[in-house]
Amino acid sequence: MIEPYVEPAAPGVDRGLTNASELAADKLVVRFQGLAAISDVSLKVQRHEVFGLIGPNGAGKTTLVNCLTGFQRPTEGRIILGGGDTAGWSASRFREQGVARTFQAGRLFKDMTVMENVEVTAAGLGASLRSARKHAKAMLGWIGLADKAALHAGALAYTDQRRLGIARALVLSPAFILLDEPAAGMSDAECEDLMELVASIPRTFTCGVLLIEHNMRVVMGISQRIHVLDGGRTIAEGTPDEIQRHEAVLAAYLGMEA
Ligand SMILES: Nc1ncnc2c1ncn2[C@@H]1O[C@H](COP(=O)(O)OP(=O)(O)OP(=O)(O)O)[C@@H](O)[C@H]1O
């Protein structure tokens, strides 16, 4: 059961970073030395939803998320945040404007405590240390890591490291959070907890979620809409029910464990 999130009385991190109701890719193309990793992909993530992004290995999911967060410049096309073009924005500008992400590899400060990991992230956006600490504490309580706040991040079990990554992204008070395979390596029971947690993000934080996930039970269970890539191209978009019956999707996954 997830605890209610209690926002600290004096938030140091501005919650109104952006009023954007949508984060969109418009006719996106990314080429690496001539190889098209993304070809003419358009999608829109809305602030009230969990939006799943799936596709076989090498489909272009991470490249797309890299573009949506300023880690990769599109070769063609645009990334639009709340109707405004983001051309030329750095990754830190995306973060400041309310687009946060987690990474497959975690990227935690392993020698710092769990609390410090969240605190420095909040402080990095300009919050005072006191207010960053308040936020970090509230966030760790919500995500279920309060009792591990004093441990080194490197000492956490893998699944708790994933939670910490999400806590760090959420403490930035984002309008959108992009989660790269949060369920990787988790047991069925851990996946259940994660599903409950991720599904609650839009209403708890007024924050849209883009979820890359290979675990079909997770992505089908909590996404309102799902976009499917294969070989850098869009092959389908729809509700979980529609996607599970979609012929091109079934063909793309044929022979793969889904
Ligand atoms: N920096 C890069 N330089 C060259 N090619 C790249 C680079 N990044 C990705 N690619 C290629 O682009 C294609 C899409 O890769 P990407 O990692 O986006 O796929 P993915 O759907 O996230 O895969 P996975 O599910 O395995 O993480 C692949 O063919 C990959 O080899």
Which segments in the chain show pLDDT lower than 70? 1-18, 105-106, 254-258
Look at residue 110 and give its three-state secondary structure.
coil
Tell me what pLDDT residue 253 has: 82
Do residues 74 and 47 make contact, with C-beta atoms less than 8 angstroms apart?
A: no
Ligand 1 atom closest to Cα of 30? 12
Q: What is the pLDDT of residues 153-206, one digit of tens each?
A: 999 998 899 999 999 999 888 999 999 999 988 899 999 999 999 999 999 999
CA atoms of 158 and 124, how far apart (whole Å): 25
Do residues 26 and 80 make contact, with C-beta atoms less than 8 angstroms apart?
A: yes
Q: Ligand 1 centroid to 169 CA: how many Å?
A: 23
Please identify which residue in the block is written with the tokens 């490291």. 161
Tell me what pLDDT residue 11 has: 36
Tell me what pLDDT residue 7 has: 64
**Residue minimizing CA distance to atom 23 of ligand 1:** 58
ipTM over cut 0.90:
yes
Structure tokens at 57: 């290995």
Instruction: State the angle between helix axes of 129-143 and 158-170 in degrees (0 to 180), rounded to the nearest 10.
Output: 130
Tell me what pLDDT residue 17 has: 58
- Residue 179 CB neighbours (<10 A): 26
Mutate to test the pocket of ligand 1, among 28, 32, 54, 216 (most ligand atoms within 8 A of CB): 32
